Amino acid sequence: MKAFPKINLHIHSTYSDGTNSIREIIDKSVKLGLDYICITDHFTNSWKADIIPSLDTKEKIEDYLYEISEIQQELTNNRQKLTLLKGIEVDITSSYDYITKMVSPKDFDIILFEYLQNNEGIGFIKNILLSWEKGLNLQKDDCLFGLAHFDPSYFEYSSLEILVNFLKEYNIFFEFNSTYPQFYSQRYKRFFTELRANQILVSIGCDSHSSSNLDNFEEPLEMIQFYGLELNFGRFIELLKLIKI
Ligand SMILES: [Zn+2]
């Protein structure tokens, strides 16, 4: 397979339930020779908020973004090849008002939505995207949107077409998440065939909660090849290259 950049666009730091600071994640990523990483700490006010720390105040989100900006600047000044992106993982079982009031896609390069499991979830994400589009005059490519560790089994039989049309219309990517290999298992071949046929974007994220698994992208890369999704992945990489830091 042609050489793709080394990417891991799903990483948690001590701003939520990760065990390493952003600084430690960066140092390790530079050592590993990664090309693109994205810090995607949790955002939630559902049941999950009682269990894990998250980006739960405006001040905390500001500190988080500021720290990432500072490190981005350092990486540029030191001419490192690593590109650090600003992300957030939004739990869609949170309330609509909480998400739209607290999170602005103008501040992030990547927003991951987690727990899409039914058509109501599709409607919920659409409403959020529409609200952002209206309120913020969002331009195409201001921010990339994707599904975190999406489980195809929820849409396998009944609503696959609705799902794929949604991903296509809103340019939402599917994430090959190495922490959940069951979600890219061959039993979902039909789902991946649809992704290919509809040119749905695909990404790679390791859902790293410590710096020990920052480079677990070998298996996702193999599966991208197995399902013939190299073009989908290549198109996604081109979008990453367009992001202005
Ligand atoms: Zn995650």
Is pLDDT larger for residue 110 or for residue 137? 110
Domain assignment present for residue 1? The answer is no
Averaged pLDDT, 191-219: 97
Residue 111 covered by a domain: yes
Centroid of chain to Cα 222: 19
- Across the chain, what does the average pLDDT equal? 95
Residue 2 placed within a domain: no
Give me ligand 1 centre to Cα 39, in Å. 10
Interval 1-42: pLDDT, tens = 568 999 999 999 999 999 999 999 999 999 999 999 999 999
Query: What distance in angstroms lies between residue 238's CA and the mean position of ligand 1's atoms?
Result: 24
Q: How far is the CA of 16 from the centre of ligand 1 (A)?
A: 10
Task: Find the angle CA(183)-CA(205)-CA(4) to the nearest 5 degrees.
Answer: 110
The number of residues in the chain equals 245
CA of 10 to the centre of ligand 1 (A): 6
Residue 225 structural domain: 7-242
In a domain, 218, yes or no: yes
Domain at 135, CATH number: 3.20.20.140
Q: Is residue 99 part of a domain?
A: yes
Q: Would residue 137 count as lying in a domain?
A: yes
Q: With 80 as the cut, is the pLDDT of residue 238 above it?
A: yes
Backbone angles phi, psi at 154, to 5 degrees: -65, -25
pTM for the structure as a whole: 0.97
Domain for residue 209, yes or no? Answer: yes
What is the 37 CA–ligand 1 centroid distance (Å)? Answer: 13
What's the rounded Cα separation, in Å, for the pair 9 and 87? 8
Task: Tell me how many domains the chain contains.
Answer: 1
For ligand 1, the distance from its centroid to the CA atom of residue 148, given in whole angstroms, is: 7
Taking the chain, what is the end-to-end CA distance rounded to the nearest angstrom?
A: 29
Q: Which residues contact 189 (CB under 8 A, 6 or more apart)?
A: 227
Sort 242 into a burial class: Cβ within 10 Å, 0-12 / 13-18 / 19+: exposed
The average pLDDT across 148-171 equals 94
